[in-house]
Structure 1
Amino acid sequence: MSKEFHLTTARRVPMKTQQRIRNISPGLIGRVVVVRTLFNTFTGCLLSVGRNTIRLRIFSGIDRLFITIRIPIGIIIDIFRFPCP
């Protein structure tokens, strides 16, 4: 089983952006997505969408294992499907 981490910050994106993320995210569950947050960009598989957070499984190249991170919807700038040809 992978480790799970939770990202936190006091900064927030506008409510309109949060609503857009809440509407888009359920359709991307089980797909590889790119998540841009206020302080970093993550690429991984979207596992679930909760009320206030999303769970994303990413690969840690340093430890060579998968890590699950919970990202608050309030800090997500954009989320989109990973562009595969």
Structure 2
Amino acid sequence: MSNRANPGCVCCAPPVRDLTKLTFLDGTQMGIIGLKGVLAAIYAEGWQANDDTAEEIANRLEGKNYIPDSAREEYQRLFLKEYKKFIADQKNKIA
């Protein structure tokens, strides 16, 4: 079945709006739903970029994303990296 609004799309599901692609150290890529929204909320709440924040990000994302226990630390490392980039972007907007 073809999607008339997007002829290249053959699925019937609507596109996911807040999907972020993350790349693990081994080159594996994973799509995370809702990361941008969670980063914005965490930032607005004043969380610092540390391990506790990475854990909180993972906890908030688990509702829409499967985060395997065996890879949780790697996910949290990537979430923290993305949060640090988010903080830098916010500071650049102010400057």
Q: Name the TM-score, length of structure 2 as normaliser.
A: 0.28
Q: Which has the higher contact order (CA 8 A, sep 6+)?
A: 1
Q: Which has the higher helix share?
A: 2
Q: Name the TM-score, length of structure 1 as normaliser.
A: 0.30
Q: Which has the higher strand share?
A: 1
* Greater Rg over alpha carbons, structure: 2
